[in-house]
Protein backbone atom coordinates (compact mmCIF):
# COMPACT_ATOMS: atom_id res chain seq x y z
CA UNK A 1 0.00 0.00 0.00
CA UNK A 2 1.35 3.42 -1.02
CA UNK A 3 0.65 5.79 1.88
CA UNK A 4 1.02 9.09 0.04
CA UNK A 5 -2.10 10.64 -1.48
CA UNK A 6 -2.21 11.05 -5.23
CA UNK A 7 -2.40 14.52 -6.74
CA UNK A 8 -6.16 14.12 -7.26
CA UNK A 9 -6.70 12.92 -3.69
CA UNK A 10 -4.69 15.87 -2.32
CA UNK A 11 -6.75 18.26 -4.42
CA UNK A 12 -9.99 16.79 -3.06
CA UNK A 13 -8.68 16.95 0.51
CA UNK A 14 -7.52 20.54 0.10
CA UNK A 15 -10.80 21.58 -1.54
CA UNK A 16 -12.76 20.02 1.31
CA UNK A 17 -10.49 21.69 3.87
CA UNK A 18 -10.82 25.13 2.29
CA UNK A 19 -14.60 24.86 1.93
CA UNK A 20 -14.97 23.60 5.49
CA UNK A 21 -12.93 26.48 6.88
CA UNK A 22 -14.67 29.16 4.81
CA UNK A 23 -18.29 27.95 4.76
CA UNK A 24 -18.88 25.32 7.45
CA UNK A 25 -16.81 26.34 10.47
CA UNK A 26 -18.30 29.85 10.82
CA UNK A 27 -21.83 28.38 11.01
CA UNK A 28 -21.25 25.20 13.01
CA UNK A 29 -21.81 26.57 16.52
CA UNK A 30 -24.94 28.49 15.51
CA UNK A 31 -26.40 25.52 13.66
CA UNK A 32 -25.79 23.37 16.74
CA UNK A 33 -27.33 25.91 19.10
CA UNK A 34 -30.18 27.50 17.16
CA UNK A 35 -30.59 25.54 13.95
CA UNK A 36 -30.84 27.17 10.54
CA UNK A 37 -32.17 24.68 8.02
CA UNK A 38 -31.85 26.98 4.97
CA UNK A 39 -28.17 27.68 5.71
CA UNK A 40 -27.50 24.00 6.37
CA UNK A 41 -29.17 22.96 3.13
CA UNK A 42 -27.40 25.69 1.17
CA UNK A 43 -24.04 24.25 2.20
CA UNK A 44 -25.14 20.76 1.20
CA UNK A 45 -25.96 22.08 -2.27
CA UNK A 46 -22.57 23.78 -2.49
CA UNK A 47 -20.84 20.54 -1.55
CA UNK A 48 -22.82 18.75 -4.24
CA UNK A 49 -21.68 21.29 -6.80
CA UNK A 50 -18.09 20.64 -5.74
CA UNK A 51 -18.59 16.90 -6.35
CA UNK A 52 -18.67 15.62 -2.76
CA UNK A 53 -22.00 13.77 -2.88
CA UNK A 54 -20.80 10.96 -5.13
CA UNK A 55 -17.06 10.68 -4.55
CA UNK A 56 -16.88 6.93 -5.26
CA UNK A 57 -19.56 6.94 -7.95
CA UNK A 58 -19.13 6.64 -11.71
CA UNK A 59 -18.92 9.86 -13.71
CA UNK A 60 -21.53 8.36 -16.02
CA UNK A 61 -24.11 9.13 -13.31
CA UNK A 62 -22.70 12.47 -12.21
CA UNK A 63 -20.25 11.12 -9.62
CA UNK A 64 -16.68 12.24 -9.09
CA UNK A 65 -15.22 8.75 -9.57
CA UNK A 66 -12.46 9.67 -7.09
CA UNK A 67 -12.50 6.51 -5.01
CA UNK A 68 -12.81 5.44 -1.39
CA UNK A 69 -9.56 7.03 -0.21
CA UNK A 70 -10.65 10.44 -1.49
CA UNK A 71 -14.00 9.91 0.22
CA UNK A 72 -12.28 9.17 3.52
CA UNK A 73 -10.00 12.21 3.50
CA UNK A 74 -12.85 14.49 2.40
CA UNK A 75 -15.06 13.23 5.23
CA UNK A 76 -12.31 13.97 7.74
CA UNK A 77 -11.88 17.54 6.55
CA UNK A 78 -15.61 18.28 6.47
CA UNK A 79 -16.08 16.79 9.95
CA UNK A 80 -13.31 18.98 11.36
CA UNK A 81 -15.65 21.91 10.76
CA UNK A 82 -19.19 20.48 11.05
CA UNK A 83 -20.04 16.91 12.01
CA UNK A 84 -23.71 17.43 11.13
CA UNK A 85 -22.81 18.27 7.55
CA UNK A 86 -20.32 15.42 7.39
CA UNK A 87 -22.82 12.74 8.39
CA UNK A 88 -25.24 13.98 5.72
CA UNK A 89 -22.52 13.79 3.09
CA UNK A 90 -21.60 10.30 4.25
CA UNK A 91 -25.16 8.99 3.98
CA UNK A 92 -25.68 10.60 0.58
CA UNK A 93 -22.57 8.83 -0.69
CA UNK A 94 -23.77 5.52 0.77
CA UNK A 95 -27.12 5.83 -0.98
CA UNK A 96 -25.50 6.65 -4.32
CA UNK A 97 -23.15 3.69 -3.98
CA UNK A 98 -25.87 1.17 -3.17
CA UNK A 99 -28.00 2.36 -6.09
CA UNK A 100 -25.03 2.07 -8.44
CA UNK A 101 -24.18 -1.37 -7.07
CA UNK A 102 -27.59 -3.06 -7.38
CA UNK A 103 -30.01 -0.63 -9.01
CA UNK A 104 -31.46 -1.08 -12.47
CA UNK A 105 -30.20 1.13 -15.26
CA UNK A 106 -33.36 3.20 -14.99
CA UNK A 107 -32.90 3.59 -11.21
CA UNK A 108 -29.27 4.63 -11.60
CA UNK A 109 -30.10 7.24 -14.23
CA UNK A 110 -33.08 8.57 -12.29
CA UNK A 111 -31.69 8.94 -8.76
CA UNK A 112 -27.88 9.11 -8.69
CA UNK A 113 -27.47 12.28 -10.82
CA UNK A 114 -30.15 13.99 -8.75
CA UNK A 115 -28.28 13.29 -5.49
CA UNK A 116 -24.83 14.06 -6.88
CA UNK A 117 -25.94 17.40 -8.35
CA UNK A 118 -27.76 18.56 -5.23
CA UNK A 119 -31.14 18.75 -6.97
CA UNK A 120 -32.08 16.11 -4.40
CA UNK A 121 -30.75 17.75 -1.24
CA UNK A 122 -30.25 14.50 0.62
CA UNK A 123 -31.02 10.81 0.57
CA UNK A 124 -31.77 8.48 3.45
CA UNK A 125 -30.78 4.95 4.41
CA UNK A 126 -33.83 3.38 6.11
CA UNK A 127 -32.63 0.16 7.73
CA UNK A 128 -32.75 0.54 11.54
CA UNK A 129 -36.00 -0.16 13.39
CA UNK A 130 -37.04 0.34 17.04
CA UNK A 131 -36.47 -3.38 17.66
CA UNK A 132 -33.80 -3.99 15.02
CA UNK A 133 -30.72 -1.84 15.51
CA UNK A 134 -27.57 -3.90 16.00
CA UNK A 135 -29.63 -6.87 14.76
CA UNK A 136 -31.07 -5.72 11.41
CA UNK A 137 -32.15 -9.28 10.59
CA UNK A 138 -34.85 -8.80 13.24
CA UNK A 139 -36.67 -6.14 11.20
CA UNK A 140 -40.45 -6.41 11.05
CA UNK A 141 -41.29 -3.86 8.34
CA UNK A 142 -43.00 -5.77 5.54
CA UNK A 143 -43.54 -5.34 1.82
CA UNK A 144 -46.25 -7.43 0.20
CA UNK A 145 -46.83 -7.75 -3.50
CA UNK A 146 -50.11 -6.33 -4.81
CA UNK A 147 -50.27 -6.66 -8.58
CA UNK A 148 -47.79 -4.21 -10.10
CA UNK A 149 -47.02 -2.69 -6.70
CA UNK A 150 -45.58 -3.44 -3.28
CA UNK A 151 -47.26 -2.20 -0.11
CA UNK A 152 -44.91 -1.28 2.74
CA UNK A 153 -45.93 -1.31 6.41
CA UNK A 154 -43.67 -0.67 9.40
CA UNK A 155 -41.52 1.89 11.18
CA UNK A 156 -37.86 2.79 10.83
CA UNK A 157 -35.88 4.63 13.52
CA UNK A 158 -32.96 7.10 13.64
CA UNK A 159 -33.14 7.98 9.95
CA UNK A 160 -30.67 10.70 8.98
CA UNK A 161 -31.93 13.55 6.74
CA UNK A 162 -35.50 12.20 6.70
CA UNK A 163 -37.35 15.58 6.54
CA UNK A 164 -35.47 16.80 3.48
CA UNK A 165 -34.54 13.53 1.77
CA UNK A 166 -35.69 13.14 -1.80
CA UNK A 167 -35.43 9.36 -1.79
CA UNK A 168 -35.17 6.58 0.80
CA UNK A 169 -33.41 3.25 0.41
CA UNK A 170 -35.67 1.09 2.56
CA UNK A 171 -35.48 -2.55 3.61
CA UNK A 172 -38.50 -4.74 4.31
CA UNK A 173 -39.38 -8.39 4.84
CA UNK A 174 -40.84 -9.87 1.66
CA UNK A 175 -40.86 -13.53 2.71
CA UNK A 176 -41.91 -14.11 6.33
CA UNK A 177 -41.22 -17.83 6.09
CA UNK A 178 -37.60 -17.44 5.01
CA UNK A 179 -34.77 -18.28 7.43
CA UNK A 180 -33.45 -15.48 9.61
CA UNK A 181 -31.54 -12.86 7.62
CA UNK A 182 -33.16 -13.95 4.37
CA UNK A 183 -36.45 -12.96 2.77
CA UNK A 184 -35.54 -9.27 3.02
CA UNK A 185 -35.67 -6.94 0.02
CA UNK A 186 -34.48 -3.44 -0.78
CA UNK A 187 -36.65 -0.66 -2.24
CA UNK A 188 -36.42 2.94 -3.38
CA UNK A 189 -39.18 5.11 -1.95
CA UNK A 190 -39.53 8.70 -3.08
CA UNK A 191 -40.45 11.47 -0.66
CA UNK A 192 -44.07 12.51 -0.93
CA UNK A 193 -45.26 8.96 -1.59
CA UNK A 194 -48.66 8.50 0.12
CA UNK A 195 -48.22 6.45 3.28
CA UNK A 196 -44.64 7.65 3.87
CA UNK A 197 -44.80 9.53 7.18
CA UNK A 198 -41.85 11.44 8.67
CA UNK A 199 -41.88 11.61 12.46
CA UNK A 200 -40.71 14.47 14.66
CA UNK A 201 -37.04 15.36 14.76
CA UNK A 202 -35.24 13.72 17.66
CA UNK A 203 -33.75 15.98 20.34
CA UNK A 204 -30.16 14.74 20.13
CA UNK A 205 -27.14 15.43 22.30
CA UNK A 206 -24.84 16.08 19.33
CA UNK A 207 -24.81 16.53 15.55
CA UNK A 208 -27.93 18.57 16.15
CA UNK A 209 -28.08 20.35 12.78
CA UNK A 210 -28.55 17.02 11.00
CA UNK A 211 -32.18 15.92 11.32
CA UNK A 212 -32.81 12.41 12.67
CA UNK A 213 -36.38 11.10 12.64
CA UNK A 214 -38.53 8.01 12.66
CA UNK A 215 -40.05 7.06 9.31
CA UNK A 216 -43.33 5.14 9.16
CA UNK A 217 -44.79 3.29 6.20
CA UNK A 218 -48.58 3.00 6.45
CA UNK A 219 -49.94 1.05 3.50
CA UNK A 220 -47.30 2.84 1.45
CA UNK A 221 -47.86 1.79 -2.15
CA UNK A 222 -44.80 1.82 -4.42
CA UNK A 223 -44.41 0.46 -7.96
CA UNK A 224 -42.85 -2.97 -8.38
CA UNK A 225 -40.08 -1.22 -10.31
CA UNK A 226 -38.97 0.32 -6.98
CA UNK A 227 -37.44 -3.03 -6.00
CA UNK A 228 -33.63 -2.82 -6.08
CA UNK A 229 -31.65 -5.95 -6.84
CA UNK A 230 -33.07 -9.42 -6.35
CA UNK A 231 -36.21 -10.14 -4.38
CA UNK A 232 -35.45 -11.57 -0.92
CA UNK A 233 -31.71 -10.89 -1.26
CA UNK A 234 -31.55 -7.41 0.23
CA UNK A 235 -30.03 -8.26 3.60
CA UNK A 236 -26.64 -9.05 2.10
CA UNK A 237 -26.74 -5.69 0.36
CA UNK A 238 -27.38 -3.94 3.67
CA UNK A 239 -24.48 -5.71 5.35
CA UNK A 240 -22.14 -4.87 2.48
CA UNK A 241 -23.08 -1.19 2.40
CA UNK A 242 -22.68 -0.87 6.17
CA UNK A 243 -19.05 -1.92 5.75
CA UNK A 244 -18.45 0.99 3.37
CA UNK A 245 -20.37 3.34 5.63
CA UNK A 246 -18.04 2.46 8.50
CA UNK A 247 -15.14 3.99 6.60
CA UNK A 248 -17.15 7.19 6.34
CA UNK A 249 -18.08 7.32 10.03
CA UNK A 250 -14.57 6.43 11.15
CA UNK A 251 -13.24 9.25 8.97
CA UNK A 252 -15.86 11.60 10.39
CA UNK A 253 -14.82 10.72 13.95
CA UNK A 254 -11.18 11.29 13.06
CA UNK A 255 -12.01 14.79 11.85
CA UNK A 256 -13.84 15.65 15.09
CA UNK A 257 -10.98 14.30 17.20
CA UNK A 258 -8.40 16.28 15.26
CA UNK A 259 -10.44 19.47 15.53
CA UNK A 260 -10.75 19.02 19.30
CA UNK A 261 -7.06 18.37 19.84
CA UNK A 262 -5.97 21.18 17.50
CA UNK A 263 -8.04 23.65 19.50
CA UNK A 264 -6.97 22.29 22.89
CA UNK A 265 -3.29 22.21 21.95
CA UNK A 266 -3.40 25.80 20.74
CA UNK A 267 -5.20 26.76 23.96
CA UNK A 268 -2.57 25.00 26.08
CA UNK A 269 0.19 26.94 24.32
CA UNK A 270 -1.52 30.21 25.36
CA UNK A 271 -2.97 29.43 28.80
CA UNK A 272 -0.77 30.14 31.85
CA UNK A 273 -0.98 28.62 35.33
CA UNK A 274 1.64 28.48 38.09
CA UNK A 275 3.73 31.00 36.21
CA UNK A 276 4.09 29.12 32.92
CA UNK A 277 2.15 27.94 29.88
CA UNK A 278 0.23 24.79 30.69
CA UNK A 279 1.75 23.17 27.59
CA UNK A 280 4.97 23.02 29.63
CA UNK A 281 3.43 20.57 32.10
CA UNK A 282 4.15 16.90 31.57
CA UNK A 283 0.51 15.90 32.15
CA UNK A 284 -0.65 18.11 29.27
CA UNK A 285 2.18 16.98 27.01
CA UNK A 286 1.29 13.35 27.61
CA UNK A 287 -2.34 14.07 26.65
CA UNK A 288 -1.19 15.75 23.44
CA UNK A 289 1.23 12.94 22.56
CA UNK A 290 -1.22 10.13 23.29
CA UNK A 291 -4.17 11.71 21.48
CA UNK A 292 -2.29 12.60 18.30
CA UNK A 293 -0.59 9.19 18.21
CA UNK A 294 -3.93 7.42 18.46
CA UNK A 295 -5.51 9.67 15.83
CA UNK A 296 -2.63 9.01 13.44
CA UNK A 297 -3.04 5.26 13.98
CA UNK A 298 -6.75 5.69 13.26
CA UNK A 299 -5.94 7.52 10.03
CA UNK A 300 -3.70 4.67 8.88
CA UNK A 301 -6.35 2.05 9.65
CA UNK A 302 -8.90 4.08 7.69
CA UNK A 303 -6.51 4.43 4.76
CA UNK A 304 -5.94 0.68 4.72
CA UNK A 305 -9.69 -0.06 4.68
CA UNK A 306 -10.35 2.58 2.01
CA UNK A 307 -7.42 1.38 -0.10
CA UNK A 308 -8.67 -2.22 0.02
CA UNK A 309 -12.18 -1.15 -0.94
CA UNK A 310 -10.86 0.94 -3.82
CA UNK A 311 -8.67 -1.95 -5.01
CA UNK A 312 -11.64 -4.33 -5.05
CA UNK A 313 -10.26 -6.43 -2.20
CA UNK A 314 -12.19 -7.70 0.82
CA UNK A 315 -12.41 -4.90 3.37
CA UNK A 316 -15.20 -5.66 5.85
CA UNK A 317 -12.84 -6.68 8.67
CA UNK A 318 -10.53 -3.75 8.00
CA UNK A 319 -13.47 -1.32 7.90
CA UNK A 320 -14.71 -2.60 11.26
CA UNK A 321 -11.21 -2.33 12.74
CA UNK A 322 -10.88 1.23 11.43
CA UNK A 323 -14.33 2.27 12.62
CA UNK A 324 -13.83 0.74 16.06
CA UNK A 325 -10.43 2.28 16.65
CA UNK A 326 -11.07 5.66 15.04
CA UNK A 327 -14.33 6.34 16.86
CA UNK A 328 -13.02 5.28 20.26
CA UNK A 329 -9.74 7.17 19.75
CA UNK A 330 -11.70 10.26 18.73
CA UNK A 331 -13.89 9.97 21.82
CA UNK A 332 -10.78 9.79 24.00
CA UNK A 333 -9.25 12.75 22.16
CA UNK A 334 -12.34 14.91 22.65
CA UNK A 335 -12.48 14.16 26.35
CA UNK A 336 -8.77 14.94 26.67
CA UNK A 337 -9.45 18.25 24.91
CA UNK A 338 -12.18 19.11 27.42
CA UNK A 339 -9.83 18.20 30.27
CA UNK A 340 -7.06 20.38 28.86
CA UNK A 341 -9.38 23.39 28.87
CA UNK A 342 -10.52 22.66 32.40
CA UNK A 343 -13.76 24.44 33.33
CA UNK A 344 -13.77 26.31 30.03
CA UNK A 345 -13.99 23.00 28.20
CA UNK A 346 -17.41 22.49 29.76
CA UNK A 347 -18.79 25.77 28.41
CA UNK A 348 -20.65 26.19 25.14
CA UNK A 349 -18.52 29.25 24.39
CA UNK A 350 -15.67 26.89 23.46
CA UNK A 351 -15.98 24.36 20.61
CA UNK A 352 -14.54 21.37 22.47
CA UNK A 353 -17.83 21.05 24.37
CA UNK A 354 -19.62 20.59 21.03
CA UNK A 355 -16.95 18.23 19.71
CA UNK A 356 -17.39 15.99 22.76
CA UNK A 357 -21.14 15.80 22.11
CA UNK A 358 -20.76 15.33 18.37
CA UNK A 359 -18.23 12.52 18.63
CA UNK A 360 -20.10 10.36 21.14
CA UNK A 361 -22.55 8.84 18.67
CA UNK A 362 -19.81 7.74 16.27
CA UNK A 363 -19.14 4.65 18.39
CA UNK A 364 -22.88 3.84 18.24
CA UNK A 365 -24.24 4.42 14.73
CA UNK A 366 -23.21 2.41 11.66
CA UNK A 367 -22.69 -0.46 14.11
CA UNK A 368 -21.70 -0.06 17.76
CA UNK A 369 -18.17 -0.69 18.96
CA UNK A 370 -19.39 -3.96 20.44
CA UNK A 371 -20.75 -5.10 17.07
CA UNK A 372 -17.45 -4.15 15.39
CA UNK A 373 -15.60 -6.35 17.88
CA UNK A 374 -17.89 -9.27 17.07
CA UNK A 375 -17.34 -8.78 13.32
CA UNK A 376 -13.57 -8.57 13.75
CA UNK A 377 -13.37 -11.64 15.99
CA UNK A 378 -15.59 -13.65 13.66
CA UNK A 379 -13.43 -12.79 10.65
CA UNK A 380 -10.26 -13.78 12.49
CA UNK A 381 -11.72 -17.06 13.76
CA UNK A 382 -13.19 -17.89 10.37
CA UNK A 383 -9.73 -17.39 8.93
CA UNK A 384 -8.35 -20.04 11.26
CA UNK A 385 -10.84 -22.62 10.00
Name the strand (E) or helix (H) holding 17.
helix 7-19
Q: Which of 366, 377, 363, 248 is nearest to 302 (CA)?
A: 248
Burial class (CB in 10 A: 0-12, 13-18, 19+), 69: buried
Bridge partner list, 113: none
Q: Which residue in the list 100, 129, 328, 366 is annotated as catalytic?
A: 366
CA triplet 44, 47, 118: central angle to 5 degrees? 60
CA of 306: how far to CAs of 6, 58, 185, 235, 302, in Å? 14, 17, 27, 23, 6
Q: Which of 74, 134, 68, 73 is nearest to 97 (CA)?
A: 68
d(CA 124, CA 169): 6
Is 366 noted as a catalytic residue in this protein?
yes
Other beta carbons less than 10 A from residue 371's beta carbon: 18
Other beta carbons less than 10 A from residue 207's beta carbon: 28
Dihedral sign for Cα atoms in the order 118, 227, 136, 302: negative
Q: Which of 62, 91, 61 is nearest to 78 (CA)?
A: 91
Q: Which of 63, 175, 187, 73 is nearest to 125 (CA)?
A: 187
Pairing of strands 149-160, 142-146: antiparallel
- Cβ partners under 8 Å of residue 84, min gap 6: 28, 31, 32, 40, 207, 208, 209, 210, 358
Q: Which of 48, 76, 80, 79 is nearest to 64 (CA)?
A: 48
Bridge partner list, 154: 217
Q: If you count them, how many residues does the chain have?
A: 385
User: Active-site positions?
Assistant: 366
Amino acid sequence: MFLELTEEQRLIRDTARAFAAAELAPLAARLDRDGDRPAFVANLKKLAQLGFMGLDVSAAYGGSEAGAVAFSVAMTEIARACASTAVTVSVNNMVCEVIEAIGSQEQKERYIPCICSGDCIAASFALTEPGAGSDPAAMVTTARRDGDHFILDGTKAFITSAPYAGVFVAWAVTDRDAPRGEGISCFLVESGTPGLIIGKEEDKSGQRASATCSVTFEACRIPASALMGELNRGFRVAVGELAGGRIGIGSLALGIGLAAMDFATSYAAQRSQFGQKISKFEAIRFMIADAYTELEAARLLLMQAAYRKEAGKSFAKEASMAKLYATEAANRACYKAVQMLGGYGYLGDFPVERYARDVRVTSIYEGTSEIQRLIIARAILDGLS
